[in-house]
A and B are shown apart, each in its own frame.
Chain A
Amino acid sequence: MTEFRSTPFDRRQLLKAAALTPFAGLALSGCAAKPAESAAVNKTVTVTSYGGSYNDQLTQTILDPFSKQSGIQTTLLANTSLAALKAQVQSGDVQWDLVEITAPEYEVAVAEGLLEKFDYDIISDKGLPGYAKAEYGIKYLSFLFVMAWDQKVISDAQAPKDWAQFFDQGKYNTKRSVYNQLSDSSVLEAALLADGVPFDQVYPLDVDRALRVLGQHPGKDRLLYHAANQEPIQQLTSGEVSLSTSFNNRINAARNDGAKLNFSAENAVLAGDYFVVPKGAKNKEAAFKLMNFMSNDAEAGAAFDKVTNLTLANTPALSKLPKEIADTLPTSPRLADKILVRDDKWWSQNLKKTEQQFKLWQAS
């Protein structure tokens, strides 16, 4: 207590100082942020994708080799969403540099003016397949929307060959899990295919008919919904359902981890995602450099295709792949007449309306 007497502060002054600390903090953070940021521009790039096993694969095959080659550090986040991108652009504080969004979301983002134009002086388009190059992004990834099953309950021999069998309650007395949104799932297309609509007549989508079919086979009480990509894996492995829609890479990743699941690439729906740069992104050039690497580096592209079973928009990579791998890719010519190609144009014009109708149907 004797030392206390000699200190310059008394208790009241101390409290005053403590009371004002938050203001000081605010003032300081305002001053400090700017110079630190400008010094590091284009030395790092923040990438946002969907998370789970996919993010690990992306880091291992693309981002790490890119960092090693270019010296640009990468940060990979798992919570991509068009809404967050829009909020960042509108607030002027853009945290993300390269963002994965679905094809219909790409069209919406372009229409709302949220994206930077891609600089094809930095990105060489030599490696890009024709479908991939766009003004405000690259459709960098192709995947398959597939029917998947739990091998503990349904053997591969008994597995559904088409969507009609997948939804047939007489054949499989189980619940089925389907994605609850339509932005990158094709459950309405699946319903129309189940009803016998040929591939070339699926679009323009007859939404009423698709919902009517789903309501009859399997019926609303036999449908469960998942809201995230990793959820069907959990629902299938826990035995909650024996059939689910999913994506080919997710099932493959689960199989590599030892899960007794399988899927059929036949009658799948081929769809794709874009990488885009939000308007006002801080490390735009670094993002374009990464896109250039991703689209043209044959080694990295081949490693990605091999690990994920997805097709990266990187033509040089294809020649590096063994035939048995190339044959399993979503864009393999072997599959061309056995799958439906999703109509991005139709979806970009009808997404919100259809999404709303689907939600209402689910809830009623």
Chain B
Amino acid sequence: MSNATLERTRPRGRGAPPSADAPRRRRSGWWLLLAPILAFDVVLFLTPLGKLVGASFADNAYQRVLEDPLVVRALVNTLTISLASTVVTVVLGYIIAMVLWRAGTVTRVILFAVVLLPFWTGILVKNFAWAVLLQDNGMVNAFLQGIGLTGAPIPLLHNRFAVIVGMVHCLLPYAVFPIFSSLASIDDRLGLAARSLGAREGAVFRRITLPLSMPGISAAGLLVFIISTGFFITPVVMGGPGDMMIANQIDYYARQLTDFSGAAALAVILTVMVSILVAVYQRVLKAGGQHEDN
């Protein structure tokens, strides 16, 4: 429907010319459109967050949790596991996005379905499926023993490796889509021009595709890292006791120790730590971008 039709069918009230009246009214009431999301945020996000921060200052909670060697360990685990998962996810996601970008329509539809299917599957289901595959008498070990690569089962489950495998599987769609959308916006003619001037495929990728898809990569990296820091169930199902992350520690404080102020302090520590890292990351990216412009 065109604008003209809309204009014609709009009800006219009290004989006033709508065209003169409309812009002013639009200006005065615009904030009401924000009201639902604002109400939602204030009631369901900001208020509980404020309460959480308030609770975290009770009973000397910060000192208490930071003196706990399990917490320190969980913080280190959270950072290293999240970083490793992010790197692997972005690299794999980039490869998938490249294939999607280059594929014909039918292949693309099929591949999208393959990428999206795990996205629609519950995380517990995905993790338990991996646990079945990776356990000592699971399919992967049976295969490795079958082809004679190993005599005894290799420990593939309940360790750091398994946690990263499980997390990468859940995180992949979050990397594929931003990278794919930045690849899809690259003008095909740039590659054609480069090749016509004698550039090889490697050079086209290094000097055109990769730099132009950087916004997608950095968005994917940021998104994946932030989601990684909050993982809870994957370390439980696929990790060993040495792979617990900060979310597991929060659960332990809240449920096992019933130490709510400690749990709140941990949540605040995680939020602050991730916020600082994200700020630094964006600062570095910005600096990198400016450097290239010069």
Q: Is A33 an interface residue (CB 8 A)?
A: no
Binds A, one of B98-106, B131-139, B274-282: B131-139
Picked from A16, A239, A364, the residue with its CB within 8 Å of the CB of B29 is A16
Q: Is B9 an interface residue (CB 8 A)?
A: yes
Q: Decide if B258 touches A82 in the complex (CB within 8 Å).
A: yes
Shortest beta-carbon distance from B80 to chain A in Å: 14
Across-interface contacts of A321 in B (CB, < 8 A): none
Question: Measured between alpha carbons, how far is A360 from B242 in the docked complex, in Å?
Answer: 9
Across-interface contacts of B109 in A (CB, < 8 A): none
Across-interface contacts of A356 in B (CB, < 8 A): 68, 70, 257
Question: Measured between alpha carbons, how far is A181 from B255 in the docked complex, in Å?
Answer: 11
Q: Decide if B241 touches A362 in the complex (CB within 8 Å).
A: yes
Across-interface contacts of B260 in A (CB, < 8 A): 83, 86-87, 90
Question: Measured between alpha carbons, how far is A5 from B11 in the docked complex, in Å?
Answer: 5
Size bracket of the B interface = 35 or more
Q: Decide if A22 touches B39 in the complex (CB within 8 Å).
A: yes
Q: Decide if B25 touches A12 in the complex (CB within 8 Å).
A: yes
Across-interface contacts of A7 in B (CB, < 8 A): 11
Most central of B32, B131, B236 by chain A CB within 10 Å:
B32
Q: Decide if B256 touches A181 in the complex (CB within 8 Å).
A: yes
Across-interface contacts of B49 in A (CB, < 8 A): none
Q: Is B120 an interface residue (CB 8 A)?
A: no
Q: Decide if B136 touches A175 in the complex (CB within 8 Å).
A: yes
- Tell me the number of A-to-B contacts counted with CB atoms below 8 Å: 83
Across-interface contacts of A180 in B (CB, < 8 A): 241
- Asked if A227 meets B236 with Cβ closer than 8 Å, knowing A18-B36, A19-B36, A22-B36, the reply is yes
- Asked if A19 meets B35 with Cβ closer than 8 Å, knowing A181-B256, A363-B73, A363-B242, the reply is yes
Chain A 70-111 interface residues, beta-carbon cutoff 8 Å to B: 81-84, 86-87, 90, 108
Q: Decide if A108 touches B258 in the complex (CB within 8 Å).
A: yes
Chain A 219-244 interface residues, beta-carbon cutoff 8 Å to B: 221, 224-225, 227, 238-240
Across-interface contacts of B155 in A (CB, < 8 A): 221
Picked from B36, B236, B255, the residue with its CB within 8 Å of the CB of A81 is B255
Using an 8 Å CB-CB cutoff, how does the interface string of A228-270 with B read, 1 for contact, 0 for none? 0000000000111000000000000000000000000000000
Shortest beta-carbon distance from A48 to chain B in Å: 14
Q: Decide if A224 touches B158 in the complex (CB within 8 Å).
A: yes
Q: Is B13 an interface residue (CB 8 A)?
A: yes
Q: Is A122 an interface residue (CB 8 A)?
A: no
Q: Decide if A183 touches B32 in the complex (CB within 8 Å).
A: no
Question: Measured between alpha carbons, how far is A108 from B256 in the docked complex, in Å?
Answer: 11
Using an 8 Å CB-CB cutoff, how does the interface string of A199-224 with B read, 1 for contact, 0 for none? 00000000000000000000001001
What residue in chain B is nearest A26 (Cβ atoms)? B43
A355-B257, A363-B241 given; name 10 further pairs at CB < 8 Å.
Answer: A4-B9, A10-B13, A18-B36, A20-B32, A83-B260, A175-B136, A227-B236, A238-B132, A360-B69, A362-B241
Which residues of A pack against B, CB within 8 Å?
1, 4-5, 7, 10-12, 15-16, 18-23, 26, 81-84, 86-87, 90, 108, 175, 180-181, 183, 221, 224-225, 227, 238-240, 352, 355-356, 359-360, 362-364
Chosen A-B contacts, 23 in total, with CB atoms closer than 8 Å, are A5-B11, A10-B13, A12-B26, A12-B29, A16-B32, A20-B32, A20-B35, A21-B36, A22-B40, A81-B255, A82-B258, A83-B254, A83-B260, A86-B260, A108-B258, A175-B136, A180-B241, A240-B136, A352-B257, A360-B69, A360-B70, A363-B73, A364-B242
